[in-house]
Structure 1
Amino acid sequence: ANYVVMTAGSFDIIAEVIALDDNALVHLLNDSIRSIPGVTEVETFLYLKLSKQTYAWGTK
């Protein structure tokens, strides 16, 4: 994953991944993420268009 955060909202963990194509994404979801002990649900959000991306705030 390129980005992983623990949240205090509707999801316990949010991870951002980049897949080469749809088949690679399906493989990642079915064979890697869903096989992790404790993972009971996976929900995906596909980016249709990236309008803006900045990281000026950095990490602390």
Structure 2
Amino acid sequence: MAEIVNLRLARKARKREADKAAAEQNRALSGRTKTQKLRERSEQDRAARELDAHRRDGD
């Protein structure tokens, strides 16, 4: 016989896990210093410039 699952409780548990993951990501992003944020932004900009430099014309 299958285990009986309360769907309301399962849905709430799934939402709690999703909220916990989002909170973890927000803590990682917000817990950085201004210098770290600037460094990461400049690295992303540089990577985007390098990618654009390698694009072929006409594609």
TM-score by length of 1: 0.29
Q: Which protein, 1 or 2, shows the higher relative CO under an 8 Å CA cutoff with sep ≥ 6?
A: 1
Structure with max Cα Rg:
2
Larger proportion of strand: 1
Larger proportion of helix: 2
TM-score by length of 2: 0.29
